[in-house]
Amino acid sequence: LYLGENGKVQEGKVAVSSGFERLDEAALKHAIRSWKFEPCMVGDKPTACWYRMNFRFKISDEKGR
């Protein structure tokens, strides 16, 4: 994920696919649209940076098992 100086996700790339292109795309779009992190810092100054994040998708039935 590429984080702007304000910590908001500005773009992203899928390094390793889940095996389902639509799931990969949906997760990436959601991150860009909705997520915000503490910004990367160089000394005491916020800076834009790439941040690698790993996900594990788990599908369960409607009872949450």
- Which CA distances in Å does 31 have to 40, 43, 47? 17, 26, 19
* 26: phi then psi, degrees, rounded to nearest 5: -65, -40
pTM exceeds 0.85: no
Over residues 16-27, the pLDDT tens digits come to: 999 999 999 999
Structural element, H or E, at residue 29:
helix 21-34
Distance CA 35, CA 65 (A): 27
Average pLDDT, the chain: 91
Distance CA 10, CA 35 (A): 10
Over residues 41-51, the pLDDT tens digits come to: 999 999 999 99
The model's confidence at residue 59, banded by pLDDT at 50, 70 and 90, is: confident
